[in-house]
Amino acid sequence: MNWSVVFVTKEWEPVDLLRHYRHDWLNQMQLIKGNLALGKIERVETLLEDIIIQSKNEAKLSNMEGKTLAEKLLTFNWEPHDFHLNFEVISEPSGFSRNEPAILKVSERLFAWFDRQCQTGADNHLLFVINSDNGKPVIEFDFQGKLNLDAFSIEEIEQMSAGLPNVYMKEVELGNHECFIRIHFSD
């Protein structure tokens, strides 16, 4: 199976990082300002709560042992993809850095798969969740949007962990508008 790598190793210059991040923040502030002008206070409160949650997840991710994964997730949406990526850190597994290469590899494969299967122009969202089970990493992919599936899609997903030691595909649920994948990693 040929999986193209989505995580291009790009050396971000500090000015480029700041420019992208500033652009994201400016967009959020413009949404708040526009909703305030329209008198939509409840929407403003929702936007502010979303910003707070996102900032807390960014802080958790940035403080984890897996710096390469953190960089890739934080900058992912700055590259062209047919889906928008959000992430959540529920709990940090112990020894995360030991599993980071395998987590990166299976994530690269799945992100490439989603890029191929997502319907272009649809409102596609992928939530990447980092959790732990008995201190060992668990990664979840929760997709909502439109997928162009074929008869081999489930088999393709199940093969994403092939050749990666200590990577176990635990759950795969797949439909035309949603997909849920849970992967466990062990030392």
SS (H, E, C) 31-71: HHHHHHHCCCHHHHHHHHHHHHHHHHHHHHHHCCCCHHHHH
| Domain boundary residue, one of 48, 63, 78 | 63
Let me know whether 111 and 123 are in one domain. yes
Q: Does residue 2 lie within any of the structural domains?
A: no
Tell me the whole-structure pTM to 2 decimals: 0.84
Distance CA 84, CA 123 (A): 8
The 10s digit of each residue's pLDDT in 83-96 is: 999 999 998 887 78
Let me know whether 144 and 85 are in one domain. yes
* Amino acid identity at 140: E
Q: Does residue 133 lie within any of the structural domains?
A: yes
Let me know whether 177 and 92 are in one domain. yes
Let me know whether 99 and 145 are in one domain. yes
Q: Does residue 3 lie within any of the structural domains?
A: no
CA-based angle 26:31:33, to the nearest 5?
90
| DSSP conformational letter for 76 | G
Let me know whether 57 and 94 are in one domain. no
Let me know whether 103 and 33 are in one domain. no
Let me know whether 93 and 126 are in one domain. yes
Burial (CB < 10 A; 0-12, 13-18, 19+), residue 64, is: middle
Residue 57 Cα to chain centre, angstroms: 12
Decide if pLDDT at 69 tops 60: yes
Q: Does residue 14 lie within any of the structural domains?
A: yes
Decide if pLDDT at 47 tops 50: yes
State how many domains the chain has.
Answer: 2
Q: Does residue 87 lie within any of the structural domains?
A: yes
| Domain boundary residue, one of 63, 80, 107 | 63
Average per-residue pLDDT for the chain:
88
The 10s digit of each residue's pLDDT in 112-157 is: 999 999 999 999 999 999 999 988 899 999 999 999 887 678 888 8
Domain that holds residue 100: 66-185
Let me know whether 122 and 53 are in one domain. no
